[in-house]
Amino acid sequence: MERKIAVLGAGSWGTALAISLSNKGHRVQMWDIDQTHLESLHENRENKKYLPDICFNHRLEIKKDLEEAVRGTDIVLFSAPAQHFRSALNGAIPYLKDDMVLVNVAKGIEQKSLKRLSEIVFERLPKANYVVLSGPSHAEEVARALPTTVVAASNDQRLAEYIQDIFMTEKFRVYTNSDIVGVELGGALKNIIALGAGISDGMGFGDNAKAAMMTRGITEIARLGVKLGGKQTTFFGLSGIGDLIVTCTSMHSRNRRCGIMIGEGIAPTEATKKVGMVVEGMFTTEAAYELARRNEVEMPITQQIYEVINEKTDVKEALLALMTRQKKHETEDLF
């Protein structure tokens, strides 16, 4: 079932999916706002900046013009960072057709509006055929065809199954889900906890501390997620606990690497620069902190990470605040 697919955003994740889709036999047209980067992709037939030594096949074309990349495609895949998703969507809208399927693979919450990315889509395109693809999926591994499992979520089960068929290979397994809210929030909020796990590692703490960070982290992710309309079970699936595990434990994770540097004493702004790519958790922490405040949801880990990255407290004070909170029963006020 060959399809023509536009990939908007040639970072590591967009490139990895473009490679996987083209290797399956789909015609892929990849575009990015950075024209210099596109020149490199076109000349080298690989993404030397983010995924070196993985060659493109002939079905993966590089397009310098956005209109040329989008027109006539069956699927438009958005892989721009979450804070740039709105501008990428607005740029593509003039060339979209009603029957095109829009797939978003970015993970985040728009900081200024506090909107999920599907909310931005439906705000502009109320009848959009929208699917979010999320889960534990490092680009570096997907590009090399290492076994990976993700979830496709849509309000329309047929759309989710359509994308499942398009993306699924022997090494890239796709499940379906109807809970867009939960899948999007799980993918976004886990980056906050990954910052925390990195900070713990950077401070020299062990496995016990990181296990606690992850376990209590998924609890507060689910607490906010359910409050905002997500389903409890989603947060214990691939886009919840699955994505949380991989992001908190791998050095592929930009959020964890940034957190490690903060834990070692490097200023948050400097740590972000050293990572060299977008650290989405820095933006998501700001948004989640405000969402929790507005919705009166208790998120102590998120609150302390917010304080740390805004340099209102240091990591040792944040740790003390978490460890000396009021005594509680483990399952008290989960949701």
Catalytic residue among 24, 107, 190, 210: 190
* Residue 301: HSE in the Cβ half-sphere, 13 Å Cα cutoff: 25
* Residue 73: HSE in the Cβ half-sphere, 13 Å Cα cutoff: 27
Work out the burial of residue 59: count CB atoms within 10 Å of its CB; fewer than 13 is exposed, 13-18 middle, 19 or more buried.
middle
Rounded to the nearest 10°, the torsion over CA 34, 22, 59, 3 is -100
Count other Cβ atoms within 10 Å, centred on residue 305. Answer: 28
Catalytic status, residue 49: no
181 in Cβ contact with 225 (< 8 Å)? yes
Question: SS3 string of 114-178?
Answer: CCEHHHHHHHHCCCCEEEEEECCCCHHHHCCCCCEEEEEECCCHHHHHHHHHHHCCCCEEEEEEC
Longest dimension (CA), the chain: 60
Token look-up 């950075």 returns 34
Rounded distance between C-alpha atoms, residue 201 and residue 257, angstroms = 9
Rounded distance between C-alpha atoms, residue 315 and residue 317, angstroms = 5
Name the nearest CA neighbour of 205 among 48, 323, 73, 327: 323
| Token pair of 218 as six digits | 């998924």
- Report, as residue numbers or ranges, the catalytic residues: 190
